[in-house]
Structure 1
Amino acid sequence: MTLAPWNEEAWRNLHERRQRNALPHALLLCGAEGLGKREFADAFANALLCSVPRADGYACGECRACRLFAAGTHPDIVRVNFELRDDGKLRTEITVDQIRFLNERLSLTAQFGGGQIALIDPADAMNNSAGNALLKTLEEPTPGTVIVLLADHPSRLAATIRSRCQRIEFRVPAAAVAGQWLQKNGVDGKGAQDALVASDGNPGLALAWSRSGAIQLRGEVAKDLHDLGAGLVQAWDVAQRWSRDQADLRLRFAAALAQRQGRASVQGANSPLALTAATDLPKLAQWFDQVNRTRDLLRGPLRPELALLEVLSAWSVGQGGNSSKMERI
């Protein structure tokens, strides 16, 4: 397995610690979605379980342990992810029962005679009871056990959990590195540039959005926000349309556009929406927070068009019918 180039240093550091038998018993891999921390966690787990790892620390890919790992049947790895509810939908939190089961598993002897590894993803979705249940295991780990927590939003984890983990940050790479990586994956030229702008420099998201057509969706969101601010469309019409197609992603783009708008206003640079003056920055910040709260509401039972109507109406009112021309993004 080959990791993204911006994650190679973190891999070398962990490999060096493993050679010195100085691996921590708990790791917190954190950073924005799309930076490769999940691929990193899988490669690391595979390497720990591999019978004959390579000199660079990666798994050999050929031994029995590697074949079981690839098939998803290795007995010494425990994955804790979102489970299905009784109605067949995925839960939006990791529950205390899942962590209790994990604790019981980790208290047993490893079947292959080595250690055990647990992957909790997303760890920042543990509810309070689940987090409290994990603390005892973090404080008194079973010998040979490594627990890996993955979090897009590590600040949501309790400080008591964060303090018991060795933290590895996954950061946005330099633009040149991201651009070269996108080119190797079939996205180059203006497409790569547009995708990196949309993703705020995040190459993993840029690649995914380029392949899925999400970059065009971002343009639609920008136009809708401009037209709402100019009084050219009604909030209810936009809310209904957004509710039918990738509402969460549309809100994500809306929040990012508002953030870029505010940044541009402060810097006196060209803005993505050409709507909000610097004097409106407090309103812009309030709306940014409202968008993110609405994204959380969409995970609940509330009708999506009603949640979207509230936030889009707030945008329309906040812009006061500005009719300036939107720049091309």
Structure 2
Amino acid sequence: MTLAPWQSSVLERSVQALAEGRLGHAQLLVGPPTLGTLETARALGEMLLCTGASEQGLSQACGRCKSCLLLAAGSHPDWHEITFEDNPQGKKRSEITVDQLRALRDKLQLSAQLGVAVVAVIHPADAMNHSAANTLLKTLEEPQPGRYLLLVADSLSRLSATIRSRCQRTEFRLPTSVASLQWLQEQGVDAARAGSALQAARGNPGLALEWLQDEEILPLREQVRTTLQALAVGKGKPEETAAKWADSSQLPMILEFAADYALEQQRAAIANGEATVKSATTIADWFDRANQTRKLLSTTVRKDLMIYELLLRWSSL
């Protein structure tokens, strides 16, 4: 596994802590998925199970020992990954359930079959329901030697304080713009496109690369901005735009881009001294409404009517 520099630094610190006996049995990695929190957790888990890395002085799994080969084949008996399961209708659940955590608790009580360690990766850990979180808490309160829990979460606020307090926490921060641009160019992106995508992704290099690899995302973002600019000066019809957006399979991302654009406009107006308290508050309110609309897309509310109301408000700002 090839890790980005900011991921490698996290792994190296963890490996150093392991060598010095400071690595706790529960690790919590927090940050946007596009920064590679899950990939780093998996790399750490592989390292904990590897039998060749320490012998060779490596900071990553060797890739050649029996443990690494079993991991590559997806058949390592001491590796457990907990994430969303399918429900009886064959669709992915939106939460991690108590049954999953109870099954994991039972597995952690067994001896390591390869005699090294037992590793469990839970992602996203902040999607556990209340009962699942309580079951995990009991497991965290009764640590056993050679058992490692690696929790990956997007948001700390959705994890209980008691769970957070029982984990060693690593929060992923955005790399510097210089480091991000260098990394994007190392991925084969030319400097101009890398800079533009990084700005669009608000400094997140992983997200920028993801958008660059999908040829539709960045053009869609520009299209949303152009549409809102036109509506703001009385061009275009909110009802036509609402109908078009409502029919798009990219609607959640459209609304996210719309909210981002509103926030940019507010910040620019404040920086230029053009915003009054009233206008800044009005745009902030629209930003909140756009995000709330995105959250309601999975409900039975009429999408086209919600979006039409949202765009009418934008036209009147």
Q: Quote the sequence identity (%).
A: 43
Q: Give secondary structure in 2 for the equivalent of 1:34.
A: helix
Report how far residue 301 of structure 1 moved.
4.2
Report how far residue 26 of structure 1 moved.
0.8
Q: What TM-score, normalized to structure 1? A: 0.88
Q: Give secondary structure in 2 for the equivalent of 1:28.
A: strand
Q: List runs of 5+ in structure 1 lacking aligned partners.
A: 271-275, 323-329
Distance 1:311 1:210, change over 3 A: same
Confirm or deny: 8 A CA contact 2:212 2:218 kept in the other structure: yes
Q: List runs of 5+ in structure 2 lacking aligned partners.
A: none
Aligned equivalent of 1:204: 206
Q: How many angstroms apart in 2 are the aligned matches of 1:292 and 1:110?
A: 46
Aligned equivalent of 2:130: 128
Report how far residue 269 of structure 1 moved.
8.5
Deviates more, 1:4-13 or 1:33-42: 4-13
User: Could you tell me which of 302, 307, 312 is aligned with 1:316?
Assistant: 312
Q: How many angstroms apart in 1 are the aligned matches of 2:145 and 2:27?
A: 15
Confirm or deny: 8 A CA contact 1:231 1:316 kept in the other structure: no
Q: Give secondary structure in 2 for the equivalent of 1:281.
A: helix
Does residue 227 (structure 1) correspond to residue 225 (structure 2)? The answer is no
Q: How many angstroms apart in 2 are the aligned matches of 1:120 and 1:311?
A: 36
Q: Give secondary structure in 2 for the equivalent of 1:167.
A: strand
Q: How many angstroms apart in 1 are the aligned matches of 2:147 and 2:238?
A: 53
Report how far residue 318 of structure 1 moved.
4.3
User: Could you tell me which of 94, 113, 116 is aligned with 1:114?
Assistant: 116
Confirm or deny: 8 A CA contact 2:286 2:313 kept in the other structure: no
Report how far residue 217 of structure 1 moved.
0.9
User: Could you tell me which of 142, 149, 152 is aligned with 1:150?
Assistant: 152
Q: Deviations over 1:23-60 (max 9, x none)?
A: 11111111123112121111111111111114232100
Q: How many angstroms apart in 2 are the aligned matches of 1:309 and 1:235?
A: 11
Q: How many angstroms apart in 2 are the aligned matches of 1:147 and 1:310?
A: 42
Aligned equivalent of 1:215: 218
Report how far residue 165 of structure 1 moved.
1.1
Q: Deviations over 1:249-307 (max 9, x none)?
A: 2222222222222222222289xxxxx87632222222222333333323x3426xx23
Q: How many angstroms apart in 2 are the aligned matches of 1:158 and 1:307?
A: 33
Does residue 252 (structure 1) correspond to residue 272 (structure 2)? The answer is no
Aligned equivalent of 1:239: 242
Q: How many angstroms apart in 2 are the aligned matches of 1:295 and 1:283?
A: 19
Report how far residue 7 of structure 1 moved.
2.6
Q: Give secondary structure in 2 for the equivalent of 1:82.
A: coil
- Computed over aligned residues only, the root mean square deviation of the Cα atoms, in angstroms, reads 2.1
Q: How many angstroms apart in 1 are the aligned matches of 2:238 and 2:104?
A: 46
Q: How many angstroms apart in 1 are the aligned matches of 2:282 and 2:256?
A: 18
Q: How many angstroms apart in 1 are the aligned matches of 2:208 and 2:29?
A: 21
Confirm or deny: 8 A CA contact 2:11 2:43 kept in the other structure: no
- Report the residue type matching 1:289 in the other structure: D
Aligned equivalent of 1:10: 10
Aligned equivalent of 2:61: 59
